[in-house]
Amino acid sequence: MREVMHFIDGRAVAGTSGRFSDVFNPNTGDVQAKVALATAAEVDLAVQSAARAQVGWAATNPQRRARVMFEFKRLIEANMNDLAELLSSEHGKVVADSKGDIQRGLEVIEFACGIPHALKGEYTEGAGPGIDVYSMRQPIGVGAGITPFNFPAMIPMWMFGVAIACGNAFVLKPSERDPSVPVRLAELMMEAGAPAGVLNVVHGDKTAVDALLDHPVVRGISFVGSSDIANYVYARGAQNGKRVQAMGGAKNHGIVLPDADLDQTVKDLAGAAFGSAGERCMALPVVVPVGEKTAVELRERMIAEIETLKVGVSNDAAAHYGPVVSAAHRDRISGYIQTGVDEGAELVVDGRGFALQGYEKGFFIGPSLFDHVKPGMKSYQDEIFGPVLQMVRAESFEEALTLPSQHQYGNGVAIFTRNGRAAREFASRVEVGMVGVNVPIPVPVAYHTFGGWKRSAFGDTNQHGMEGVKFWTRVKTVTARWPDGDGTGDSAFVIPTMR
């Protein structure tokens, strides 16, 4: 059986722990590979490799680092089809969605290609008599990323793309559920010209995570996953003196005002709620129609739209979405559907029990739709992370605004309306980090930044864009004086001023 190995110091390295995790094909339910789970000693090997490489890499001028990123971008594009098929075979998302996964990561690599400009500091000539002040951005050293299963290409590239371009070396700990694409990305980074050790990949579970959080050489940690683990990563990493950005869960709302274009809105909701089987932190699993008339019409249109959706294997070009990542996750989603029923919500469309002919052992689940969901329900408060859309009816704009603002998560939100004033007020007042106006999945472009509020994010700095550059660099400010004369005198004993 195929073994997915670590990638340390520029080469594949077999695991030594004797512990492995199964890698499934979600379409068939079969185990297709095993992945080694690292020991703390193996994590240390990766970190030490990164530390050795980082010294020379930081000394490489930004333009040359950018050339490596340009070549990495070219190699990703040249290998797009193979990468997408590999990703789909382990994650289950359809190939078109896998290409989107890779492309959104690639857009951050494109941003990183402009790193010479992003790293420019500030300069003040003549801040005082003969005194100039300037600042420079320098890499923090060794960075680490801990990434989830749902975007095995995009999120790693969000992290290591900016970190490496800034002159850091990186250790990536991807999800053990779909580990092959991250390893392939590291191989392509070496092929692009990055020195061995600049990008390492170690697989593992909590043992590997804790080893990274505790390692004295690791200076910064970037994490994406559930909120409970994000909180743990943030607390433990910060306690160990590291910079930490930890992105957590989400329960994104779509607010539908009475003047919305329902034809477009329904299609947007279907894609945002059910695309990638709902396994997105920026999915839209809650829709909030404002007013009874809007709710009744939206409900009927959503039922009709759901009936047109095709669930299929990941390489079926006609399928809207494929299986979820594991049998355990499928069962978890089914459990939340039952919880919603037990709580009194109306299950309008039940996706449980869906089976695809010829793939009965695959991890499939059909789309589900709830109506009359109430804010106090556990199924509403928790992140289901599956193809389940919940309808929470609101009587007014104010009530609709309150729902996402008071929810424990604050990742993303969308409003559907033709009313510019209402959209502007909503965007200004809602207590959520990313807002879409007639955009169902408001993931910012790569030169802006990604990050939520409340329990959706721990730490003070967002992902990618200039926030990413700030996270992966330290500012050093230099105050320089070039006085006239022979340098004698007692001015050295006085605190310098700019008079």
pLDDT at 6: 98
- Is 113 a known active-site residue? no
pTM of the model: 0.94
- Stretch 15-28: mean pLDDT: 97
Distance between CA atoms of 164 and 50, rounded to whole angstroms? 11
> What is the enclosing helix (H) or strand (E) of 388?
strand 388-391
* 18 or 487, higher pLDDT: 18
Banded model confidence at residue 159, pLDDT cuts 50, 70, 90:
very high
Banded model confidence at residue 486, pLDDT cuts 50, 70, 90:
low
Banded model confidence at residue 483, pLDDT cuts 50, 70, 90:
confident
- Stretch 188-206: mean pLDDT: 98
Domains and CATH numbers, the chain: 2-248+456-478 (3.40.605.10), 253-437 (3.40.309.10)
99 neighbors 139 (Cβ within 8 angstroms) = no
**DSSP symbols for 189-242:** HHHTTPPTTSEEE---SHHHHHHHHH-TTEEEEEEES-HHHHHHHHHHHHHTT-
Contacts (Cβ under 8 Å, ≥6 apart) of 94: 88, 312, 314, 315, 316, 317, 319, 320, 321, 322
- Stretch 460-467: mean pLDDT: 92
- Stretch 338-351: mean pLDDT: 98
1 neighbors 20 (Cβ within 8 angstroms) = no
pLDDT at 482: 84
Contacts (Cβ under 8 Å, ≥6 apart) of 282: 250, 252, 411, 412, 434, 441, 442, 443
Distance between CA atoms of 192 and 74, rounded to whole angstroms? 9
The CA–CA distances, whole Å, from 359 to 85, 197, 362 equal 18, 41, 5
- Stretch 405-432: mean pLDDT: 98
375, two tokens: 């804010």
Residue with tokens 């000394």: 59
**DSSP symbols for 439-489:** -SS-PPPTTS-B--EETTEESS--BSHHHHHHHTEEEEEEEEE--SSSS-S
pLDDT at 494: 64
Catalytic residue among 255, 281, 302, 432: 281
The string of pLDDT tens digits covering residues 102-113 is 999 999 999 999
Q: What is the DSSP letter of 276?
A: G
Whether residue 174 has pLDDT greater than 70: yes
pLDDT at 393: 98
pLDDT at 298: 98
Distance between CA atoms of 12 and 111, rounded to whole angstroms? 29
pLDDT at 80: 98
Whether residue 488 has pLDDT greater than 80: no
The string of pLDDT tens digits covering residues 124-143 is 999 988 899 999 999 999 99
- Stretch 471-488: mean pLDDT: 84
> What is the enclosing helix (H) or strand (E) of 172?
strand 169-173
Q: Lowest-pLDDT range, 31-45, 188-202, 366-380, 437-451? A: 437-451
Residue with tokens 């589900």: 368
The string of pLDDT tens digits covering residues 432-463 is 999 999 999 999 999 999 999 999 999 989 99
194, two tokens: 């990055």
Banded model confidence at residue 496, pLDDT cuts 50, 70, 90:
low
Q: What percent of the chain has pLDDT over 70?
A: 97
Distance between CA atoms of 82 and 108, rounded to whole angstroms? 20
Residue with tokens 């299950």: 347
Task: State the CB neighbour count (10 A cutoff) for residue 125.
Answer: 8
Distance between CA atoms of 383 and 374, rounded to whole angstroms? 15
Banded model confidence at residue 484, pLDDT cuts 50, 70, 90:
confident
Q: What percent of the chain has pLDDT over 90?
A: 95
* Mean pLDDT for the chain overall: 96
The string of pLDDT tens digits covering residues 278-318 is 999 999 999 999 999 999 999 999 999 999 999 999 999 99
Distance between CA atoms of 168 and 310, rounded to whole angstroms? 44
Of 341, 132, 147, residue with least CA distance to 230? 147
Banded model confidence at residue 191, pLDDT cuts 50, 70, 90:
very high
Report which residue type is found at 13. V
